[in-house]
Structure 1
């Protein structure tokens, strides 16, 4: 009887301890990144920061590999309150034209440049997001994008002639590759491996971290280092839901997002070297593309953006003026 009493007392104590450590608020973070991707590392870093900083009050649970939906589904689920955070990248250009500035080829030169753009223009991006019902908690990154395919090495834009190329959803990326001569098709990231494996698509374009973590090197022959677009990623919440959070929770989430950006930039720079070696080791033929030729061929995209997007030329000029840091 004494043993049973001790067991009951221990069980009760454990129950009390367990409830003490139960989070007051559980938040779901969905993203499309595969295991080993920069997306996964960034989201996990954010979750770890929140979970440790909040002293058990808030728990961020992470769901990668499109478990909670593809990019467009996650955007909708944010508004419905079914997901608390998502990590969209290129798809943001379909949310508001302002985000299309990051679809302009070679407009971002490096991460320091991106930080200056963020510092000067973040209010513009935040206003655009909130007008569509979202709140940008912070920035991470997708990275500098390069082209893989099974047809030929891509040295100049004309080498893309006729190549069936998967792109993310976004009118400017599609327009850019049409201009280069490719046959671009928007497709959800989770569908790309099978499309490449079966020949539905000849190629795709992504940063090394996405290429390697999705194992595209297993179904692609050529990698051409173009660095044609730098895409930030957005730690995104519903504006309505975020505004209802206590101010201290909002501040904590914003602070963790800022720390995650620092982590992401450091991790991304590390992966750029490591993962290129992984891709090469798989037998993929790698070449350095003629970036000057791509920049020259990209002028009509800039002209179209300036003409079609409100304040488009002003945004282009402002981003380019921040390239040198002067």
Structure 2
């Protein structure tokens, strides 16, 4: 009898626990090419934390790092077809909307306050609408960061210092054009292959935000870090529009709130890295220099003019509006 009573009590406790725990209604897969601990992962981890907590467990998020679900182009295609839910996208956003290439022109953004004014304002809302038409919903923006240069040949102070250096870039025609115009020998390579390419000498250098220099341990295979701040590429936290529309209204709101928190976390991570990572890589043996940004800006004017001419009047107008949004 005692054994039976114990079983009844245990069963009752189990049923009570099950009743108290809400069933998971939505399972989301989120992908990034970024390394574990990198800025994209930091953003996705915060998204996961907030989405699961504020949904009361109704949303579950699984994160795939290091390009486990393909590169950014493949991730966008998968979201458009509804086979992937969420991904962090940066430079390849121009594949679906070439106009957004203006964000990646050299020295388009003055600082993080300028970026926030653009993305959190009217321009950011227009970008959202444009991408939704392509089946990709920006549920938020995150910090991809100001990009710096590393290499194994020499410190980069002015554009002419890049002459002959084999620089890896993302698969962006504009990025390749920029570095070739500055004198480098630029070519694309998938990010997950970059560490080995630098280690073996297939490439002399690369350009990425400081947080990637740390998380991908490029300081192990690079001698020089040159602080150029040459591009700030906004990060787009995208969700499949098809998947988004399947969510109940209250969970749509949760997803957007979680994405906003993810963006805040990524900016804080990037700001912290600005000083801490420079100190870290110096400690690891890298030589660090501050580049002559005015020389790089001057060498970029022709690139601005050519891109504006190629993309047309709409791009010229967008550039003017972005520049007008600079904090005074």
TM, length-normalised to structure 1: 0.95
Unaligned runs of 5+ in 2: none
Residues 45 and 183 of structure 1: CA distance in aligned 2, closer, same or farther (over 3 Å): same
In structure 2, the residue matched to 1:322 is 325
In structure 2, the residue matched to 1:293 is 295
2:242 paired with 1:275: no
Larger mean Cα displacement after TM superposition, 284-293 or 34-43: 34-43
Decide which of 160, 163, 183 is 1:161's aligned counterpart. 163
- Listed as ranges, the matches of 1:8-87 within 5 Å are 10=10, 13-14=13-14, 17-18=17-18, 20-87=21-88
Aligned to 1:107, the other structure's residue is in SS state: coil
In structure 2, distance between residues paired with 1:148 and 1:15: 58
Describe the superposition over 1:195-240 as per-residue Cα deviations: whole angstroms up to 9, x where unpaired: 1011111110001101110001000011111000001111101122
Larger mean Cα displacement after TM superposition, 209-218 or 24-33: 24-33
- Listed as ranges, the matches of 1:202-213 within 5 Å are 202-213=204-215
Residues 290 and 4 of structure 1: CA distance in aligned 2, closer, same or farther (over 3 Å): farther
Aligned to 1:143, the other structure's residue is in SS state: coil
Larger mean Cα displacement after TM superposition, 103-112 or 254-263: 254-263
Describe the superposition over 1:167-199 as per-residue Cα deviations: whole angstroms up to 9, x where unpaired: 112121111011001111111111100110111
Deviation at 1:258, TM superposition (A): 1.6
Q: Is the 8 A contact 1:98 1:128 kept in 2?
A: no
In structure 2, distance between residues paired with 1:8 and 1:73: 52
In structure 2, distance between residues paired with 1:153 and 1:235: 34
TM, length-normalised to structure 2: 0.94
- Root-mean-square deviation (CA, aligned residues, Å) is 1.7
Unaligned runs of 5+ in 1: none
In structure 2, the residue matched to 1:256 is 258
2:105 paired with 1:104: yes
Deviation at 1:256, TM superposition (A): 1.6
Q: Is the 8 A contact 1:139 1:235 kept in 2?
A: yes
Residues 283 and 116 of structure 1: CA distance in aligned 2, closer, same or farther (over 3 Å): same
In structure 2, the residue matched to 1:6 is 6
In structure 1, distance between residues paired with 2:112 and 2:248: 32
In structure 2, distance between residues paired with 1:259 and 1:215: 27
Q: Is the 8 A contact 1:305 1:313 kept in 2?
A: no
> Which runs of at least 4 in structure 1 moved beyond 6 Å after TM superposition?
none
Residues 170 and 8 of structure 1: CA distance in aligned 2, closer, same or farther (over 3 Å): farther
In structure 1, distance between residues paired with 2:5 and 2:146: 63
Describe the superposition over 1:228-284 as per-residue Cα deviations: whole angstroms up to 9, x where unpaired: 000111110112221232221111111221222222222211121111111111101
Larger mean Cα displacement after TM superposition, 68-77 or 18-27: 18-27
